Amino acid sequence: MAVRRAAGVLAGGQGTELPETFWYTAKRRLLGPPMVNEQLRTERLSKPLALGVLSCDGISSAAYGTEEMLIVMVVAVGLKAFNLIIPMTLVILFGIVIVVLSYREVVTVYTRAGGSYVVARENFGPRVAQIAAVALLIDYVVTVAVQTAAAAAVIVSAFPSLSRLPSPIGPNILDVLAVLMILVMCYGNLRGIREAGKTFALPTYLFSVSVGLMIIIGLIREAMGNLHHVPRYAGSTFALGHSNQGLLSFAIIYMLLKAYANGGSSLTGIEAVSNAVSALRPPEGHNARQILVMQGSIVIFLIGGISWLSHVTHATPYLNGYPTVLAQEAALVFGSSGRFLYWVVIFGTAAILFTGGNTSFSGFPFLASFVAEDSFLPRWLTKRGHRLVFSNGIIILTVISLTLGLVVGFNVDGLVPFYAIGVFTGFSMAGFGMARYHLRTREPGWRRRLVINTIGGVYTVLVVLIFAVVKFKEGAWLVVIVGPILVYVLIRLNREYRAEAQVLESIGERRAAGAPQRPPNYSRRVVIVFVDDFDLSTIAALRYAKSLRPTTVRAVHFVIDGERAERLRAAWLPDRSVSLDFVDCPDRRLTRCAADLVSHEAETSGTQVTAILPRRSFSPLLGRFLHDRTADKIAGVVSRVPNAAAIVIPFDVQNRIRVLQERQAERDMKAPAALTPVPGPPADGVTAGQQGFPSEVAAAPQDAAPEPLPGAGGYDRPIPPPGVTPIGSIHQPGRATVEGRVRVVEIRPVEHNSVLACEISDSTGDLTALFYGRSRIPGLMCGARVRFRGTVGIKNGAPIMINPAYELVIPGATSKPSADGE
Domains and CATH numbers, the chain: 57-89+132-418+469-495 (1.20.1740), 519-668 (3.40.50), 690-822 (2.40.50.140)
User: Nearest-CA neighbor of 422 among 372, 467, 485?
Assistant: 467
d(Cα 58, Cα 81) in Å, to the nearest integer?
25
Hey, is 114 helix, strand or coil?
coil
d(Cα 686, Cα 682) in Å, to the nearest integer?
10
**What value does the mean pLDDT take over residues 736-761?**
83
Of residues 652 and 518, the one with the higher pLDDT is 652
Check whether 628 has a pLDDT greater than 70: no
d(Cα 512, Cα 472) in Å, to the nearest integer?
58
Burial 681-712 (b: 16+ CB within 10 A, else e): eebeeeeeebbbbeeebeebeeeeebebbebe
Q: What is the pLDDT of residues 398-443, one digit of tens each?
A: 898 888 888 887 778 778 777 777 778 888 888 888 888 888 888 8
Q: How high is the pLDDT of residue 737?
A: 92
3-state secondary structure string across 548-586:
CCCCEEEEEEEECCHHHHHHHHHHHCCCCCCCEEEEECC
3-state secondary structure string across 88-112:
HHHHHHHHHHHHHHHHHHHHHHCCC
User: Nearest-CA neighbor of 95 among 303, 305, 317?
Assistant: 303
User: Nearest-CA neighbor of 610 among 668, 547, 565, 684?
Assistant: 547
Q: How high is the pLDDT of residue 792?
A: 92
Contact indicator for 532, 582 with CB cutoff of 8 Å: no
| CB proximity list for 622: less than 8 A, separation 6 or greater | 496
Indicate the residue type of 633.
K
Q: Which helix (H) or strand (E) holds 213?
A: helix 193-224
Contact indicator for 759, 767 with CB cutoff of 8 Å: yes
| Alpha-carbon radius of gyration of the chain | 31
Q: How high is the pLDDT of residue 666?
A: 58
Contact indicator for 806, 760 with CB cutoff of 8 Å: no
Check whether 660 has a pLDDT greater than 70: no
Check whether 447 has a pLDDT greater than 60: yes
- For residue 361, CA distances in Å to 38, 39, 131, 335 come to 23, 20, 20, 37
CA dihedral 452, 454, 460, 466 (to 10 degrees): -130
Q: How high is the pLDDT of residue 410?
A: 79
Check whether 214 has a pLDDT greater than 80: yes
Q: Please, what sign has the CA dihedral across residues 299, 302, 303, 304? A: positive
d(Cα 196, Cα 114) in Å, to the nearest integer?
20
Check whether 691 has a pLDDT greater than 60: no
| CB proximity list for 224: less than 8 A, separation 6 or greater | none
Check whether 693 has a pLDDT greater than 50: no
d(Cα 224, Cα 37) in Å, to the nearest integer?
60
**What value does the mean pLDDT take over residues 35-57?**
67
**What value does the mean pLDDT take over residues 775-796?**
86
Check whether 682 has a pLDDT greater than 50: no
Strand partners, 734: 792
Cβ neighbourhood burial of 797 (10 Å; 0-12, 13-18, 19+): exposed
User: Nearest-CA neighbor of 307 among 275, 343, 352, 262?
Assistant: 262
CA dihedral 62, 64, 65, 66 (to 10 degrees): 100
- For residue 385, CA distances in Å to 14, 124, 191, 347, 625 come to 30, 32, 10, 33, 18
Q: How confident is the model at residue 801 (pLDDT cuts 50, 70, 90)?
A: very high
- For residue 1, CA distances in Å to 553, 554, 720, 737, 809 come to 12, 10, 23, 22, 24
Q: How high is the pLDDT of residue 101?
A: 87
Of residues 471 and 695, the one with the higher pLDDT is 471
User: Nearest-CA neighbor of 146 among 29, 227, 228, 63?
Assistant: 63
Q: Helices 358-373 and 193-224: crossing angle, nearest 10°?
A: 130
Q: How confident is the model at residue 190 (pLDDT cuts 50, 70, 90)?
A: confident
d(Cα 636, Cα 645) in Å, to the nearest integer?
10
Percent of the chain with pLDDT over 70: 73
Hey, is 644 helix, strand or coil?
strand
Residue 752's CB: how many other CB atoms inside 10 A?
5
Strand partners, 674: none
Check whether 738 has a pLDDT greater than 90: yes
- For residue 622, CA distances in Å to 130, 377, 400, 492, 731 come to 20, 12, 21, 11, 57
Q: What is the pLDDT of residues 345-393, one digit of tens each?
A: 998 888 888 777 777 787 788 788 878 888 888 877 777 765 556 778 8
Q: How high is the pLDDT of residue 131?
A: 87
Check whether 788 has a pLDDT greater than 90: yes
Biggest CA-to-CA distance, the chain? 101
Q: How high is the pLDDT of residue 769?
A: 92
Average pLDDT of the chain is: 75
Q: Which of 476-490, 636-650, 687-701 has the lowest mean pLDDT?
A: 687-701
Q: Give this prediction's pTM.
A: 0.65
Q: What is the pLDDT of residues 240-298, one digit of tens each?
A: 655 555 555 566 776 777 777 777 767 777 777 776 676 677 777 788 888 888 988 99
User: Nearest-CA neighbor of 351 among 189, 214, 192, 200?
Assistant: 200
Of residues 620 and 207, the one with the higher pLDDT is 207
* The total number of residues written for the chain in this structure: 822
Chain mean position to CA 814: 29
Of residues 557 and 271, the one with the higher pLDDT is 557
Check whether 526 has a pLDDT greater than 90: no
Q: How high is the pLDDT of residue 496?
A: 82
Residue 5's CB: how many other CB atoms inside 10 A?
23
Percent of the chain with pLDDT over 90: 5
Check whether 641 has a pLDDT greater than 90: no
